[in-house]
Amino acid sequence: MGNFNFTKTEIDGVYIIEQRVFGDNRGYFMETYEEKQFAENGITNKFVQDNQSKSVKGVLRGLHFQKTHPQAKLVRVIKGAVYDVAVDLRKDSPTYGKYTGVVLTEENKKQFFIPRGFAHGFLVLSDEAEFCYKCDDFYHPEDEGGLMWNDETIGIEWPLDGIEEIKLSDKDRKNPAFGSFSF
């Protein structure tokens, strides 16, 4: 038996991943990635870049993607809690334009695998959150794209209880609606 449990979501290729946590009175240890076990579950991406961000409650980052250099991402929270979403942008997919989401916390230690061809974003639910993600392609600033976080066509049900204000970057305020964007 491996140290990971891979749960398929309603969108093909997107997984919620839970790992075994070994703990005692000193703390805990866990693997967050192991190439062989991921490959056995169909995730064969070679990760080339690790990123980390820190945000305060109500910050919404996204919905981001790269147009011609798409990135698969393996994401997790090491402090706090976020609601993380993936929006299917694969035109030939039966779930094109649909989303799936999961709450990631430092307590549940879940990870979310988002394959290439998706927009990605998250909303910070705790007072503060530190978010880590692995990417399988490098960031290309000239290639970035975004979608409006509250686009009615996508219809993401963001958990807004306790969130007084959505805090967006200037760039994310200008993201277009799903229906007006072409890839």
Q: Is 133 in the active site?
A: yes
Q: Cβ distance 157 to 100 under 8 Å? A: no
How far, in Å, CA of 77 to CA of 67, rounded? 26
Active-site residue, from 28, 120, 133, 139: 133
Rounded to whole angstroms, how far apart are CA atoms 131 and 61?
11
Evaluate whether 17 touches 7 at the Cβ level (below 8 Å): yes
Partners of 27 in the beta sheet? 24
Q: How far is CA 16 from CA 76, 88, 98, 103, 145, in A?
A: 10, 16, 17, 10, 24
Is 33 catalytic? The answer is: no
Given the residues 15, 64, 83, 99, select the one marked as catalytic: 64
Sign of CA dihedral 99, 104, 108, 114: positive
Tell me the catalytic residues. 64, 133
